[in-house]
Every structure is written in C-alpha cells, then in structure tokens.
Amino acid sequence: MAPSIKVGDTLPKGEFGYIPWAPELESHASYSHSHVEFVPSKIDTEKDWKGKKVVLFSVPGAFTPTCHVNHLPPFLEKYDEFKAKGVDVIAVIAANDLFVMSGWARFEGCKDKIVALSDPGAKWSAALDLSVDLTDRGLGVRTARYAMIIDDLVIKYVEVEPAPGVSVSGADAVLAKL
C-alpha cells in the first residue's frame, strides 16, 4: 500500500475526537456513578498542530494484539527520547471510537504523554490511502499501521507497514528519522 501523501506534502486537514487525560480518569469509575466528566474534545490538525513537531502513528485497533503489545508501548517507553528530539505531540490514531481510544490509553498508562485519537471508519486515513479492509476478520475498515513525522504541518516522514508486525511505523524507526 502506498499512501497518497509523501514527504514534503502539507498534512491534509483532519479533525479527530479524543478525551483529554485527567488524573480523575484513572479511577476507572463507572460513567454514570462518577463525578468525572468524559468530555469529548476535538483536535483540528491545522489549528492545533501548526508550528509543532508531531509524531502520529496509526494502529488497526485498540487492544488488538500487535497494537497493544508491540506498537504503542515502545512509544510510551521512549517518550523522553522523543521529547529530547523536539517532539511536541505524540499521537496514536485508530478507527475505534474516542471512548475506546480513551480507555485503551488509560489502560496503557499514556496519561498526557500520548494523545489517543479517533478516526471513525478510518475516513481520514482512507482519504490518504492509509486504511485497510479487515472485514473478512470481522473488524471492518480500519486505519492501516503507519507512522508520520509532521513538522509545522509538513510531512517529514511517512511509512506504512509492508507486512504484519511493527517495523517502519515503530518507535525505533521513527526516532531514527527525527
């Protein structure tokens, strides 16, 4: 799969839902019995990422085996290395809804280090030829496994995994390109 965007292109506008992390979310209390508000928010790439260095990596699904064990955790473990290289924002994106993404981020311990974004139906990713149809596995259309480095809305790195597993979209590969 080849994305329709390439290094040097301006990142196409995207709006993604997410739930901002707050310490109160760590209680895992029931939505209906909690004083915590799970307030859906939006990230507008043109507004919120202008002037920033962003690492965006995509997984086919929260809690899915490779994503949950091999893809997200190394980004969290190497958070300080990313920050030392001038990264302002690390974000993970998937086709899951924003509540699932929030729950996964809390389970993984992302706190305010990695923003978990929802790309419902992988619509934004699909527009960039960065989606994968996993209907035959009961998962529907999902975001492909990919990574980008975005600097002031300009793509500096974009790679899609050529096969199952994590290589070009993993934390080490992205760090090497910063």
In terms of Cα–Cα distance, which of 44, 152, 151, 62 is closest to 110? 62
CA distance 45 to 48: 5
The residue from 67, 98, 155, 160 that is catalytic is 67
Query: What secondary structure letter does DSSP report for 69?
Result: I
DSSP string spanning 117-145? EE-GGGHHHHHTT-EEE-GGGT--EEE-S
Cβ-in-10-Å burial (0-12, 13-18, 19+) of 14 comes to: buried
User: Is 110 a residue of the active site?
Assistant: no
Catalytic residue set = 67
